[in-house]
Amino acid sequence: MNTENQHYDVVIIGAGPSGAVAATLLVKHGWRVLVLEQQTFPRFSIGESLLPQCMVYLEQAGLLDSLHENAAPLGFQFKNGAAFQRSGEHASINFTEKFSQGPGTTYQVKRADFDKCLADAAQQQGAEIRYQHTVIAYNNLVDGAQLLVKNQQQNEYQVTARFILDASGFGRVLPRLLDLEQPSDFPVRSAFFSHFKDGIVDESFDRNKILINVHPIHKDIWYWLIPFSDGTASIGVVAQPSRFAKNAEPLVCLNDFLEQDPFLAQLLSRREAIGDARSISGYSANVKSLVGNNFALLGNAGEFLDPVFSSGVTIALKSASLIAPLVDRHLRGENVDFVTDYSKPLQAGVDCFRTYVSAWYDGRFQDVIFYTEQNHQVKEMISAILAGYAWDTDNPFVKQSERRLATLVSLCQS
């Protein structure tokens, strides 16, 4: 065992989007930052459809130029909205027509390449990243924390830091080590997904939008179709586990569900799977607290809702943007109330997303989306939320999400 104790100002667990953005922001403040990543990059990850709000946080970190420069070579698809289909009903949201100020366009990205792009840029700006290094133990110190780390040769060593950020995503390193996990109040759902050569020849299909498709019989089952610029797409289906056959082979299961919807079956009749399909179940998660003594949880390491409106990366980047200046102040000796200044503001946007995700599954928000006599101003407010601006409290549908949505639903269903 290597007992040499290495010291950094901040150690970040995970080199995904929130880790890369937090690392870059903290390096800009002059701090010595180490990122410990369990895997090697590029590596597969789900969550390919970004929201325009993401572009704000990437620009803050100085990572936006790298994204733009690499978009075309990596097959990233320009995105300006979302399209919806339900048993022949069609609707769309244009993110450039929204209530909130800020970007209205973004990209649909292959996460393996996107995450590596951000991590590489973070390294170029001064963050140190160690791949295939796994955090296996955490010890709280008066002035920071000590981590026990195992490298790719299975050798163990110790690292201390004045502050720890957990950006490990679904790995949820600190929640597991510190017994912070608690059940999500969302029902357990499963997703089956893969990348395909989509073979779409329908000229009316808009590749600039994610397609969210409702199952023709069961309104709680939905599909995503995320096109990329090279003729491939990420395709998946989400439902409660009881809807899927036990021990189902992922690609067989996914193709079976695609054939159940006449619109998708026709649109994707020429599809060819690229590699293996995958499945994930019980991904919704929560924690007892997002912060503790000298640590904070970012993105999915804290709470993950559901993939339906692609909020995961947005929440992750928002968390990095919120936490970095607070950690900077903390390291400079200021008193920082991380609950008031980080947990509560972050949770406010998450709770707004939760309102619309919950209403999607019970069908109420679907009725709003497919309502034919839409008020333009209201639609712009809803567009802003679906574009990721869930922290803009000038938007009445953010500030009073439950009450405003309930009123809107009653009008659409009357």
Q: Which of 290, 286, 321, 277 is nearest to 306 (CA)?
A: 286
Q: pLDDT value at position 302?
A: 80
Pair 387, 341: CB distance under 8 Å? no
Q: What is the pTM of this model?
A: 0.95
Residue type, 225: L
Query: Rounded to whole angstroms, how far apart are CA atoms 233 and 226?
Result: 5
Give the chain's end-to-end CA distance (angstroms, integer). Answer: 69
- pLDDT at position 82: 98
Give the pairing type, strands 128-131 and 106-108: unpaired
Distance separating alpha carbons of residues 216 and 85, to the nearest angstrom:
10
Task: Give the C-alpha separation, 255 to 310, whole Å.
Answer: 22
- Would you say the C-alpha torsion 309, 314, 316, 322 has a positive or negative sign? negative
| Phi (first) and psi of residue 215, to 5 degrees | -60, 140
**What are the structure tokens assigned to 341, written together?**
């200044």
Q: How many CA atoms lie within 13 A of 204 on its CB side?
A: 6
Matching CATH topology for 5-79+102-183+285-348 and 190-281? no
Is the CB of residue 281 less than 8 Å from the CB of residue 241?
A: yes
Buried b (16+ CB within 10 A) or exposed e, 368-403: bbbbeeeeeebbbbbbbbbbbbbbbeebebbeebee
User: What confidence score (pLDDT) does residue 303 get?
Assistant: 75
CA 96, CA 356: separation in Å to the nearest integer?
Answer: 20
For 227-264, letters b (16+ CB in 10 Å) and e give bbbeebbbbbbbbeeebbeeeeebbebbbebbebbebb
pLDDT value, residue 166: 97
Q: 3-class SS at 189?
A: coil
All residue ranges of the chain with pLDDT < 70 are: 1-5
Fold of 190-281: D-Amino Acid Oxidase; Chain A, domain 2 (3.30.9)
- The pair phi, psi for residue 31, each rounded to 5°, is -90, 150
DSSP codes joined into one string, 296-365 = EE-GGGT-B--TTTT-HHHHHHHHHHHHHHHHHHHHTT----HIIIIIHHHHHHHHHHHHHHHHHHTSHH
Rg of the chain, C-alpha, whole Å: 21
Give me the pLDDT at residue 46, please. Answer: 86
pLDDT at 4: 59
Is there a contact between 199 and 72 (Cβ–Cβ < 8 Å)? no
Residue in this structure with the two tokens 């069908």, named with its chain if needed: 363
The residue extents of the domains of the chain are: 5-79+102-183+285-348, 190-281
What per-residue confidence (pLDDT) applies to 357? 93
Report residue 180 as tokens: 């912070």
Supply φ then ψ for residue 235, to 5 degrees.
-130, 135
Please identify, in words, the CATH class of the domain defined by 5-79+102-183+285-348. alpha beta
